[in-house]
Chain A
Amino acid sequence: MARDRGRLIRRAVIGGIAGVIVVAALAIVVSGGLADDGGRRVTTYRVGERIESGNARTVVESVTLSTRRPGSGFEASDGRRWLVITVVQTNLSDAPLFVTNLRIGINYGTALDQRDTTRSIDRAAGGQAASPLPPGVPTRLWYVFDVPATAAPDDETVVGVYRADRTYGDPVFGDTGYGSPYPVGRVPVDRVEDEG
Chain B
Amino acid sequence: MKRGVRIAASLAGLAIAMIAAATAPQDGTDIAAPFLVRGVEGDVLTTRLLTTRLDGIELADALEQDAYSSPRIDTEGQWLVVHLTVQTRQSTEGLSAARLLLDGREYGNYIGADDDLARIQNGPGIATSGTLVFELPADALRGAGAGHAELRLQTQVAPTLDDVPTYTLDLRGAHRSAEFRIPRPRVVEPLT
Contacts and interface: CB of A to CB of B under 8 A. Distances in A.
Direct contact of A and B (CB under 8 A): yes
Interface of A: 72, 94-96, 123, 125-132, 134-140, 170-174
Given A135-B107, A137-B137, A170-B158, A128 B76 contact: no
A94 B106 contact: yes
Contacts of B73: 123, 125-127
Contacts of A135: 105-107, 137
The secondary structure that dominates the B interface is loop
Nearest to B108: A96
Contacts of A132: 108, 110-111
Contacts of B15: none
Question: What are the 8 tightest A-B residue pairs by CB atom distance, in nearest-first order?
Answer: A129-B112, A127-B112, A125-B74, A136-B137, A96-B108, A128-B112, A126-B73, A170-B157
B113 interface: yes
B59 to A, nearest CB: 14
B165 to A, nearest CB: 18
B136 A128 contact: no
A95 B105 contact: yes
12 contacts: A72-B69, A127-B70, A127-B73, A127-B113, A128-B111, A132-B108, A134-B135, A137-B76, A137-B137, A138-B76, A172-B108, A173-B96
Contacts, number: 79
Given A170-B157, A170-B158, A172-B97, A131 B111 contact: yes
Given A134-B136, A173-B96, 20 more contacts: A72-B69, A96-B108, A125-B75, A126-B63, A126-B71, A126-B74, A127-B110, A128-B112, A128-B113, A128-B114, A129-B111, A134-B77, A134-B108, A135-B106, A136-B77, A137-B76, A138-B76, A139-B75, A139-B76, A172-B96
Contacts of B77: 134, 136-137
Interface in B47-91: 63, 67, 69-77
A134 B137 contact: yes
Contacts of A170: 156-158
A126 B133 CA distance: 14
Among A72, A126, A135, A173, max chain B CB count under 10 A is at A126
Contacts of B106: 94-96, 135
Contacts of A173: 96, 157
A125 B105 CA distance: 23
Contacts of B108: 96, 132, 134, 172
Contacts of A138: 76
Nearest to B109: A132
B134 A128 contact: no
A94 B105 CA distance: 5
B28 interface: no
A137 B135 contact: yes
Nearest to B64: A126
Nearest to B70: A126
A118 B105 CA distance: 29
Contacts of A96: 106-108
Contacts of A94: 104-106
A134 B96 contact: no
B139 to A, nearest CB: 8
Contacts of A126: 63, 70-74
